[in-house]
Amino acid sequence: MRFVEVAIDVPLRGNFTWRLPASLADTPPLRGYRVMVPWSSAFRTGVVLRDTTEPPPDMETERVRDVLAVLDSHRFVPEPQLALAEWASRYYLAPVGECVRLAVPPGSMPDADAVVRRVVPSEVASSPWILALPSDVGVPLRSIVGSGGVRLADVMQGVFQQQVVLEQENARGQMREQTLERIRLLDADTGAQLGAKQQLVIEHLRQWGESTWDELREACDCSRATLQALQKRGLVSVAEERVWRDPFSGSTVLRRQHDPALTSEQATALKQILVTLQEVTKKPVLLHGVTGSGKTEVYLRAVREATAAGLQSLILLPEIALTPQFVGVFRAVLGDEIAVQHSGLTPGQRHDQWQRIRAGEVPLVIGARSALFAPLDKLGLIIVDEEHDPSFKQDTGVHYHARDLAVVLGQTTNAAVVLGSATPSLESVGNVVRGRYTIGFMHRRVANRLLPDVQLIDMRHYPPDPEDPASHLVSPILQQAVVDNASQGQQSILFLNRRGYSPTMECRACEQPLACPHCDVSTTYHQRGNMARCHYCGFAVRVPRQCPTCGSEELTPKGAGTEQLENVLEQAFSGLRVARLDADTSRGKGLSRILDTFRRGDADILVGTQMVTKGHDFPGVTLVGVMQADQSLKFPDFRSGERTWQLLTQVAGRAGRAERPGRVMIQTWNPDHFVLQCVLKGDYDTWKSQELTFRKRMGYPPFGSMVLLRVHAPEWPAAMEVAEFVSARVRHDGARALRLVGPADAPVTRIRGRFRIHLLVRGTERGEVHAAARLMRLALDELEANMRKRDVRADIDVDPLNML
Ligand code: ADP
Ligand code: ZN
Ligand code: ZN
């Protein structure tokens, strides 16, 4: 007898096993196939993890239910990605079903809400029930199965014969596969007499060989009946062909004619990667190349070599929508055979891309975090660009870090892994120190361009000037620099890492901030619409006239965000064009509009949050200004120094990337701060060694690891009780050397009406910390019923980045 262990996307841990009924007993080994299984009174689809003859140990064989159907005629999830999902499940202590979901396209796991749609003309339908389906409209699966003796197996038969498809109801429409009718001439020597229209069609096809229906109708002004008549007489064939929805559609890119000559540093870096590609046992390469050193060109050449060797490549970028030019460069050189995955795609596009990659048609996938699970089964090269970027860590669901999983994927597939950055994370630097990674440097910009000249502006010398309404934000010297820059036809970027008009509204009478009713934070004031918005839960209200605490009418904005900066600049420099890039302006088409406007030179100043620090290559930018550089240093997080170093170095790197040199002006109230001094001198080595010394003394990563338990509930005591139970368990059963911080209130004590408690466990031995994480998991599992009753939720974050 055969049993299958199946990953089902439910938030439950444990293994779920079904039996293969006799009718399915002679299927091939099913690991990686989708199967439909009964689930309580309905059914669900999952991916088979294990195919075995052993009955599940904890269950009597008679109680095991039967698999309803096997959905695939060949393997659905390739082995590398399935193994990676299993690895992630073990390491991040997440249900395996949630991890496997990362490796399948949207809408591919039909459940009881699935619909069946006929995809062949009725003439071709091989069974009455298929014939009975309306064309092009999905019919709920549950209304087909059981009616008129149709079994699920019959439906699956129809799926395998490619007569019907199963789709998930909610994704309908968007998910529909796009097809194109291709009409070909079979026999030009008609002999028979044809109508005028028919003659025209034959002529057209004779001339063009084949045509789509749209072209044909356009060219010959013929009707469907004309075509059918010709088809019936065997003169033409009509075939439906699948077309891939093209996320590039509308934008064409010129093919690059000549490769630039590599700088010697680029050539050395490339060689190092190509050597790794050949090696039997590979180590990841950390490519530390300063901003503008031409890392993209190195990636490009490496991908080209991998492709030539018949291997597939994967490039992960932190926020791909922010750097369209990156993809542009690859298209210009490699053509359109590239799959791109990012959050801007519709579910239909993502589904198509997945299928195309799965079909092995794509030599290169470029994508954000989630592209890590793209179904590539001939992987040779994995590149993680801007590997230091925190957005590689998933904040919700499975808390995986795409860079770390990329290294795992490289190990299991024996692909070369390249981690690139101008500001590498200390985790990766630590791995170099330990000999796990090799490192390559690119110290100089291409074409002998200089790194920008950095200057600190001590804001203590520039108190706000009542005559100058911009002065509280932008010092007179930076203002002058912006004006001078624009007068020479050059562009500036001004970086302020806060969106909205003001981070708080405060009452001048009672000094209380206007707080979010659901969260323990103050709301951000947005001048647009005169709204107070909570950036944690999305709560928004019109700003009340009166202070909710004391009733006085003196609510005033306090502090500044990008909306205010834009405003102030527009007033101060009426002749200059200001664009703003932040989460508020970049929704939908806004993002590409702003980036295009600035790139074309239709704006003089780009104001923005950390979005402007990402890998943009704007040749016109020669000045970068930073407002409130101290802000990120004050963050209650041991990584705040590293984060500040990275943000400042990255934003500075946007200046002077073309012929003209750039300069950077950093406004601060703490010009003597160690991190700022290192940025000023461009002294990476001093910064790094001091930061590593501090980390080592404290046992922080990369010299130790940590796991963070977050517990939240509508009632504080309920959350605290759970956290304390878990804490006691770890103290009792965990390694002696572990250090526990908490349980205590989280930095933001309440979000969405739920009180939040944190327990941080850290230690120098990764294995001991991970064992503690598993103890946490077991303790939480024990409390499951109790937690459900009191609406307590908990999540375990292995290697947390976000300590909030
Ligand atoms: P990085 O990612 O290291 O900051 P990029 O890859 O964006 O740098 O390269 C910076 C600029 O230098 C780009 O405009 C790129 O086209 C150009 N470039 C790269 N390599 C060369 C080269 N060998 N010769 C001339 N220009 C180059
Ligand atoms: Zn008040
Ligand atoms: Zn809120």
SS (H, E, C) 272-326: HHHHHHHCCCCCCEEEEECCCCCHHHHHHHHHHHHHHCCCEEEEECCCHHHCHHH
- Please give the distance, rounded to the nearest whole angstrom, from the Cα atom of residue 543 to the centre of ligand 2: 13
Quote the longest CA-to-CA distance of the chain: 97
Look at residue 285 and tell me whether its pLDDT is greater than 80. yes
679: amino acid identity, one letter:
V
Look at residue 250 and tell me whether its pLDDT is greater than 50. no
Phi and psi torsions of 208, nearest 5°: -105, -5
Look at residue 732 and tell me whether its pLDDT is greater than 60. yes
What ligand is nearest to the CA atom of residue 536?
3
Indicate which residue's Cα is closest to atom 17 of ligand 1: 294
Which of 245, 311, 287, 478 has its CA nearest to residue 383?
A: 287
User: In this structure, what token pair is assigned to residue 450?
Assistant: 């200089």
Look at residue 447 and tell me whether its pLDDT is greater than 70. yes
- Please give the distance, rounded to the nearest whole angstrom, from the Cα atom of residue 727 to the centre of ligand 3: 28
As a whole-number percent, the residues of the chain with pLDDT over 70 amount to: 94
Q: Give me the DSSP letters along 346-360.
A: -HHHHHHHHHHHHTT
pLDDT at residue 55, as a whole number: 79
Q: Give me the DSSP letters along 19-45.
A: EPPGGGTTSPP-TT-EEEEEETTEEEE
Which of the 8 DSSP states describes residue 387? T
Look at residue 435 and tell me whether its pLDDT is greater than 80. yes
What ligand is nearest to the CA atom of residue 267?
1
Estimate to the nearest angstrom the gap between the alpha carbon of 675 and the chain centroid: 30
- Please give the distance, rounded to the nearest whole angstrom, from the Cα atom of residue 534 to the centre of ligand 3: 5
Indicate which residue's Cα is closest to atom 24 of ligand 1: 260
Look at residue 419 and tell me whether its pLDDT is greater than 80. yes
What digits encode the pLDDT tens for the residues 119-131?
787 777 788 888 8
pLDDT at residue 168, as a whole number: 66
What atom of ligand 1 comes closest to residue 266's alpha carbon?
23
- Report the range out of 172-186, 361-375, 530-544 with the highest average pLDDT: 361-375
d(CA 15, CA 56) in angstroms, rounded, equals 9
Q: What mean pLDDT is reported for the chain? A: 87
Continuous segment of H or E residues that includes residue 379: strand 379-385
- Please give the distance, rounded to the nearest whole angstrom, from the Cα atom of residue 540 to the centre of ligand 3: 8
Interhelix angle 295-308/324-334, nearest 10 degrees: 40
What ligand is nearest to the CA atom of residue 421?
1
Indicate which residue's Cα is closest to atom 19 of ligand 1: 294
Look at residue 253 and tell me whether its pLDDT is greater than 70. no
User: Omega of the bond prior to 743 within 30 degrees of 0, cis?
Assistant: yes
Indicate which residue's Cα is closest to atom 5 of ligand 1: 294
372: amino acid identity, one letter:
L
Look at residue 142 and tell me whether its pLDDT is greater than 80. no
pLDDT at residue 473, as a whole number: 92
Indicate which residue's Cα is closest to atom 26 of ligand 1: 446
What digits encode the pLDDT tens for the residues 624-647?
999 998 888 888 789 999 999 999
- Please give the distance, rounded to the nearest whole angstrom, from the Cα atom of residue 522 to the centre of ligand 2: 14
Mean pLDDT computed over 499-507 = 92
For a substitution probing ligand 1, which of 331, 383, 617 has the most ligand atoms within 8 Å of its CB? Answer: 617
Asked if residue 79 lies in contact with residue 377, where contact means CB atoms within 8 angstroms, the answer is yes
- Please give the distance, rounded to the nearest whole angstrom, from the Cα atom of residue 706 to the centre of ligand 3: 28
16 three-class SS: strand
Nearest-5° Cα angle at 748, 742 to 754? 90
pLDDT at residue 179, as a whole number: 62
682: left (phi over 0), alpha (psi -120 to 50) or beta: left
What atom of ligand 1 comes closest to residue 295's alpha carbon?
3
pLDDT at residue 759, as a whole number: 97
580: left (phi over 0), alpha (psi -120 to 50) or beta: beta
Indicate which residue's Cα is closest to atom 12 of ligand 1: 294
For a substitution probing ligand 1, which of 254, 297, 387, 445 has the most ligand atoms within 8 Å of its CB? Answer: 297
Q: How confident is the model at residue 190 (pLDDT cuts 50, 70, 90)?
A: low
Q: How confident is the model at residue 213 (pLDDT cuts 50, 70, 90)?
A: confident
What digits encode the pLDDT tens for the residues 257-284?
788 899 999 999 999 999 999 988 899 9
pLDDT at residue 526, as a whole number: 92
Alpha helices in 514-616 (DSSP H): 562-572, 590-600
Mean pLDDT computed over 706-728 = 96
pLDDT at residue 60, as a whole number: 65
Tell me the whole-structure pTM to 2 decimals.
0.85
Look at residue 173 and tell me whether its pLDDT is greater than 50. no
- Please give the distance, rounded to the nearest whole angstrom, from the Cα atom of residue 296 to the centre of ligand 2: 54
pLDDT at residue 254, as a whole number: 65
Mean pLDDT computed over 132-136 = 77
Mean pLDDT computed over 58-75 = 80
pLDDT at residue 566, as a whole number: 93
What atom of ligand 1 comes closest to residue 291's alpha carbon?
4
Indicate which residue's Cα is closest to atom 23 of ligand 1: 262
What is the distance in angstroms between the CA of the first residue and the CA of the last residue of the chain? 50
For a substitution probing ligand 1, which of 262, 288, 446 has the most ligand atoms within 8 Å of its CB? Answer: 446
Look at residue 172 and tell me whether its pLDDT is greater than 50. no
> How much of the chain is helix, strand and coil, in % rounded to 5?
35, 25, 40
- Please give the distance, rounded to the nearest whole angstrom, from the Cα atom of residue 791 to the centre of ligand 3: 19
Indicate which residue's Cα is closest to atom 1 of ligand 1: 292
- Please give the distance, rounded to the nearest whole angstrom, from the Cα atom of residue 707 to the centre of ligand 3: 26
Indicate which residue's Cα is closest to atom 18 of ligand 1: 294
Interhelix angle 426-433/684-698, nearest 10 degrees: 80
Q: How confident is the model at residue 189 (pLDDT cuts 50, 70, 90)?
A: low
Mean pLDDT computed over 302-327 = 88
Q: Which stretch of 21-25, 362-366, 434-438, 472-476 has the lowest confidence by average pLDDT?
A: 21-25
Q: Which residues have C-beta under 5 Å from ligand 2, the single-atom ion? A: 507, 509-510, 547, 549-550
Look at residue 452 and tell me whether its pLDDT is greater than 80. yes
699: left (phi over 0), alpha (psi -120 to 50) or beta: left
d(CA 359, CA 376) in angstroms, rounded, equals 9
Q: Which stretch of 210-224, 297-311, 363-377 has the lowest confidence by average pLDDT?
A: 210-224
- Please give the distance, rounded to the nearest whole angstrom, from the Cα atom of residue 516 to the centre of ligand 2: 15
pLDDT at residue 705, as a whole number: 94
Continuous segment of H or E residues that includes residue 81: helix 79-91
Look at residue 540 and tell me whether its pLDDT is greater than 80. yes
- Please give the distance, rounded to the nearest whole angstrom, from the Cα atom of residue 632 to the centre of ligand 2: 29
What ligand is nearest to the CA atom of residue 753?
3
What Cα–Cα distance (Å) separates residue 332 from each residue in 130, 366, 386? 45, 14, 22
Which residues line ligand 1 at a C-beta cut-off of 6 Å?
A: 260-263, 266, 289, 291-297, 446-447, 615, 617, 657
Indicate which residue's Cα is closest to atom 14 of ligand 1: 617
What digits encode the pLDDT tens for the residues 681-709?
888 999 999 999 999 998 899 999 999 99
- Please give the distance, rounded to the nearest whole angstrom, from the Cα atom of residue 751 to the centre of ligand 3: 6
What atom of ligand 1 comes closest to residue 653's alpha carbon?
4
As a whole-number percent, the residues of the chain with pLDDT over 90 amount to: 50
What ligand is nearest to the CA atom of residue 658?
1
Asked if residue 743 lies in contact with residue 757, where contact means CB atoms within 8 angstroms, the answer is yes
Asked if residue 623 lies in contact with residue 663, where contact means CB atoms within 8 angstroms, the answer is yes
- Please give the distance, rounded to the nearest whole angstrom, from the Cα atom of residue 687 to the centre of ligand 1: 26
